[in-house]
Amino acid sequence: QVHLVQSGAEVKKAGSSVKVSCKASGGSMDSGGSFSNFGVSWVRQAPGQGLEWMGGIIPLFSATNYAHNFQGRMTITADKETGIAHMELSSLRSEDTAIYFCARSEFERIFRGRTYEFYYYGMNVWGQGTTVVVS
């Protein structure tokens, strides 16, 4: 049984950065003990609000994708061997106060035009969430 364990709650000042970790544990290396064959998505939820996909990474191909709202101030990294992913968000503002979730994603890699496109779907294992408060 694969689990994703996230780092603890953070309180940050506006303008600073936060880095949240997500570690995969349990299961074999092939079935998901690491991220070798999966993607990792980051999703956040502001207080009382819905879900917002922020970005993702496919460690196997070292490919990252960011939602438009977060391009330029979000960085996602992952080590497929250790099964640890990180999400760093900079230039924090009060609106970034939220619970941040990591989730293991299925993905498809499809060649289109001159490049590969990655599709993140089927987020089937979720971390417990990390509360980030920006004051």
Partner 1 sequence: EIVMTQSPLYLPVTPGEPASISCKSNQSLQHGNGNDYLDWYLQKPGQSPQLLIYLGSYRASGVPDRFSGSGSGTDFTLRISRVEAEDVGVYYCMQALQTPTFGQGTKVDI
Nearest residue to 45 (alpha-carbon basis) of 112, 124, 103, 125: 103
Separation CA 111–CA 98 (nearest Å): 35
Separation CA 64–CA 77 (nearest Å): 8
> 15 vs 109, which CB is nearer to partner 1?
109
Q: What contacts 115, CB < 8 A, 6 or more positions away?
A: none
> 15 vs 72, which CB is nearer to partner 1?
72
Min CB(16)–partner 1 separation in Å: 26
Interacting residue with partner 1 among 43, 76, 87, 98 (CB under 8 A):
43
Task: Give the Cα-Cα-Cα angle 122, 23, 109 (nearest 5 degrees).
Answer: 35
Interacting residue with partner 1 among 11, 29, 46, 51 (CB under 8 A):
51
Separation CA 118–CA 69 (nearest Å): 18
Q: What contacts 90, CB < 8 A, 6 or more positions away?
A: 16, 17, 73, 74, 75
Is 101 a binder of partner 1 (CB under 8 A)? yes
Contact region for partner 1 (CB under 8 A) — 8-16, 19-27, 50-58, 86-94? 50-58
Is 120 a binder of partner 1 (CB under 8 A)? yes
Min CB(41)–partner 1 separation in Å: 7
> 34 vs 41, which CB is nearer to partner 1?
41
Residues near partner 1, by CB under 8 A: 41, 43, 50-53, 65, 67-68, 101, 103, 106, 108, 110, 119-124, 126-129
